[in-house]
Amino acid sequence: MANSIVNVTDATFKQEVLESELPVLVDFWAAWCGPCRMVAPVVESIANEYNGRLKVAKVDVDHNPNIAGQLGIMSIPTLIVFKGGQVAKAMVGYMPKDQMKKQLEGVI
């Protein structure tokens, strides 16, 4: 995983995501999820390309079920952009990098 990606837990979600000064792309994933493994290199590439403009975080839903439950996440991978502590954009499922970049450009 890229150094620019933060592993977030139920305990650190508020500080790392909701209180972040930068917009935050959060990847909700699990180790057993095939599409999650497919989107991981895309998320890592986004983290490197947008370093300094966008914070990128990952939440393992198996180990951190509380925040996923509070956000009503039913399918993974779910990627949510938080801006100013609020949900700005949600994306569900795998998508190629160019498509993800288009989704991000409208909110960051």
Contact 47, 56 (CB under 8 A): yes
Residues designated as active site: 33, 36
Instruction: Assign residue 19 a region (left: φ > 0; alpha: ψ between -120 and 50; beta: otherwise).
Output: alpha
